[in-house]
Amino acid sequence: MKKILLVGILTVMFPLTLFAQSVSTSTPATATSPAPVVAPANPGLLPGDFFYFLDNWGEAIRTFFTFDPIAKAKLHLEYAKERAAEISAVLADSARKVADVAGAEQNLAQQVADAAAIIKSEQAKGINVSSLATELRDQLDSTHLEVKDALAQHAERADQAQQQIQAKIASLSPTDPQVAGLTQALASVTKEKNQTAEESNAISSELSDEQAAFDEAMGPQAAAEKNIEQAMRLREILGNAGGSSGLPVGLTTSTAALMNQAQEAILRGDFESAKNISEQAKNLMEQNQESLRTRNEINGGDSLPGGSKEGGQTMETSSSTHAVGEAREVPEVPESQQRTSTDGRNGTDN
């Protein structure tokens, strides 16, 4: 009886979900698609859109009727990519908060977990899924990077707003009637900044478990080589985005030394060490990504991946007072307090 009821519900909802997915222009994965250079997905419908729930239902129905495990695993990662694109699109709006993408982040993590579960299940049956695991690992890394970059930019805008509000408060008398509202806005922006950092750490922690499952299926050598490849790719991206000056000398030297150590570990068959060392290089570069973006924007170069530029110039700092919901009502900071000092920090008049 339950099966009949389920089929009836799916039959009724199927036309609606087709309509919702026709609104979204994203292209689903197929079982025969080759391991690609992963391109960002089209976000289509976004959290908060009227038909967004139908889009999710449509994905669930399509997954339900996909019986081949390989195709289903690919489909899960395709939907995870769509969640990442949605998160980027939503957080690109300075009026939105990180809480607005909480559901998308949870769905992303679940899609990746479901794909990893399929990999483990197939591997337990004695099926060689190393090629599939490598393809999914590529997509996972691209998806993770897109989400981390979107959250980093959101946190950066909150940080800029925080600095401007603090400068505005410092310029006023303690008895000024604006102080109370600015103090409330400052608390809101600070909370948003902290929550964004927490979300970034949480999503990284959740996805690291699934990455381990893909790595195990790939095999130790392939996983180590993949890590080195990604570290070198990130180094190239950051170097190109750094403009004419490239990466700072210290970062160039330290990452080059780590990459050499990782390559040496590969040659002697110590794949675990190679993987760990290349992870250290990636973490070091990711830690410096924000400072590189700031330095590059001051120099007027191209943004790092996902950075905001308009007409070759960085976005006006006055917009950072609108970084999060409550801060939108903050009085505009005077131009004298919006100047950017040569060391990359928002300057204020002393």
How far CA 81 is from CA of 86, 104, 106, 211, 238, in Å, comes to 9, 11, 13, 15, 22
Least confident among 57-71, 96-110, 201-215, 310-324: 310-324
Close Cβ partners of 34 (under 8 Å, ≥ 6 residues apart):
none
At 122, which helix (H) or strand (E)? helix 102-124
Q: Residue 50: pLDDT above 60?
A: yes
Cα angle, residue 202 at apex, residues 30 and 321 outer, rounded to 5°: 100
pLDDT at residue number 16? 41
Beta-bridged to residue 346, according to DSSP, are: 340
How many angstroms separate the CA atoms of 347 and 295, rounded? 15
Question: Would the pLDDT of 177 be above 70?
Answer: yes
**Dihedral of the CA atoms 91, 97, 98, 102 (nearest 10)?**
-100
Element at 309 (helix H, strand E): strand 309-310
Give residue-wise pLDDT tens across range 231-251.
Answer: 888 887 777 655 545 667 778
Q: How far is CA 14 from the centre of its chain?
A: 31
Intra-chain end-to-end CA distance of the chain, in Å:
76
Can you give the residue ranges of every domain in the chain?
A: 10-337
pLDDT value of position 79? 95
Residue type, 81: K
CA atoms within 13 A of residue 264's CA, in its CB half-sphere: 7
The confidence score (pLDDT) of residue 295 equals 53
pLDDT score of 328: 42
Q: Which of 154, 150, 191, 98 is nearest to 320 (CA)?
A: 154
Burial class (CB in 10 A: 0-12, 13-18, 19+), 339: exposed
Q: In sequence order, what DSSP letters do the residues of 161-209 get, joined into one string? A: HHHHHHHHHHHS-TT-THHHHHHHHHHHHHHHHHHHHHHHHHHHHHHHH
DSSP 18-58: HHHHHHS------TT-----PPPPP--S-TTSTTHHHHHHH
Q: Which pLDDT band, with edges at 50, 70 and 90, does 282 fall under?
A: confident
**Could you report the per-residue pLDDT of 254-265, keeping only the tens digit for each?**
888 898 998 999
pLDDT at 108: 95
pLDDT mean over 82-86: 95
Look at residue 342 and tell me whether its pLDDT is greater than 80.
Answer: no
Question: Measured between alpha carbons, how far is residue 35 from residues 38, 129, 137 in Å?
Answer: 8, 13, 10
pLDDT digits (tens, 9 = 90+) for 27-43: 343 333 333 444 556 67
Residues 221-225 have a mean pLDDT of 87
pLDDT of residue 224: 87
* pLDDT at res. 341: 38
> Quick one: which of 319, 311, 307, 324 has its CA closest to 346?
319
Inform me whether the pLDDT recorded for 336 exceeds 50.
no
